[in-house]
Amino acid sequence: MKAVILSGGLGTRLRPLTWNTPKSLVPVLNKPFLEHVLRHLKEHGIDEVVLALSNLASSIQEYFGCTNSLDMKIDYVMERSALGTAGAIKNAAEKLSHDSFFVLNGDIFSDLDYSAMLKCHRENNSDVTIALTAVDNPAAYGLVETKGDGRVTRFLEKPRQDEITTNLINAGTYIFEPGVLDMIPTDTEYSTERQLFPSMLASDASVRAFASSGYWIDIGSPEKYRRLNFDLLSGRSGKYGFQNGNEVVTGQAGQVHPTAKLEGPVLLGDNCVVESNAVIMGPAVIGDHCHIGEAATISASVIWPRVTIGNGCKLISSIAADNCVLQSGCEITQAILGNRVKILKNYKLPTGSMVEPKQIIG
């Protein structure tokens, strides 16, 4: 069985992290986000995927290639300019066989039971099955109204507050029958949520909901991206990530000074150096090849690979993308640093700062 993964969005809301890194490759527990998604598909026997790409496509292809350690067949389709969520699926049509296939928004992490969803799809002879999840505020999502028997009656993308009638939303995972591809125009920008689903409902197609209550998050913003890392560290997503919630896992070939204090949950990548009296308070994820200086303090933060944290720095509730350098004595709180940012000695960055890549500040 195949899955099309929509990975071509611009990741605008995740900037400055996504200026130079596609949303699919942002590291989650030190592995590209998409790798987690692929592993989950594979666990359910879905081992052929088509990645629908438009933005920063080459870095995704370079990373995953065609054969890979996951032992999955990965194919790629490219849009010259973004075709929208349904246009991107249509663009992948020639890579799909004449069988039902999954469609995944590429920015969702969930422990959805794909096998049970497929069973539901087949038992009901549906044209499309949409996974649903419950959220506190559906305004940022696609609201889905259903009948008692699970048939979808209304699909409303990004509803206004006064239009919210349920807390159930589109979880960004579908099963399509191949015939649905004929309902999408070729080489045209077309939206699954705003055009395809409403038009299918208007024409009485069989669109069914599959409710799920497991872990689910859309990594659409830095805050949610950080939360996903921490949820996985603290074992909040069932079988993925850490199990007991306060482990300290250190990678290979690193050096952690005996006076450094690591309080879990902490994931420290390979080849990291942690100097004397440094304190890393979990939840914290630190990428490969990072250097944490003497008496530096890190807490509730996600650090990408090759980051240098100088002596005595404080990095609290923040994200630092790859190759950032914090010179000694800096203080960074609730900030998001794009890659290759340099913060000069003793500088106290205003709380909540978002710093674009390659800026030198201080």
Active site residues: 158
Shortest Å, Cβ 103 to Mg ion: 14
Separation of alpha carbons 259 and 295, rounded Å: 10
CA-nearest of 76, 266, 280, 84 to 193 is: 84
Under 8 Å between Cβ of 309 and 298: yes
For ligand GDD, the binding residue among 2, 7, 56, 180 (CB under 6 A) is 7
Residue with tokens 């070729």: 186
Partner touching 127 among ligand GDD, Mg ion, none, CB below 5 to 8 Å by kind: none
Residues that bind Mg ion (CB under 5 A): 107, 218, 220
| DSSP one-letter string for 263-316 | ESSEEE-TT-EE-TT-EEEEEEEE-TT-EE-TT-EEEEEEE-SS-EE-TT-EEE
Separation of alpha carbons 179 and 304, rounded Å: 43
* Number of residues in contact with ligand GDD under rule CB under 6 A: 27
For ligand GDD, the binding residue among 16, 27, 32, 84 (CB under 6 A) is 84
Q: How many CB atoms lie within 10 A of CB 131?
A: 26
Partner touching 100 among ligand GDD, Mg ion, none, CB below 5 to 8 Å by kind: none
Shortest Å, Cβ 356 to ligand GDD: 21
Shortest Å, Cβ 54 to ligand GDD: 5
Residue span binding ligand GDD (CB under 6 A) among the ranges 47-55, 58-66, 175-183, 336-344: 47-55
Buried b or exposed e, range 225-259, using 16+ CB within 10 angstroms? bbebbbbbbbbebeebbbeeeebbbbbeebebeee
Q: Which CB sits closer to ligand GDD, 85 or 308?
A: 85
DSSP 349: P
Residue 169 binds ligand GDD (CB under 6 A): yes
Q: Which CB sits closer to ligand GDD, 170 or 234?
A: 170
Shortest Å, Cβ 225 to Mg ion: 11
Separation of alpha carbons 204 and 129, rounded Å: 14
Subset of 212-241 contacting ligand GDD (CB under 6 A): 218, 220
Q: Which CB sits closer to Mg ion, 237 or 301?
A: 237
Q: Which residues sit at the interface with ligand GDD, rule CB under 6 A?
A: 6-9, 23, 52-54, 79, 82-85, 88, 105-108, 141-142, 157, 169-170, 172, 193, 218, 220
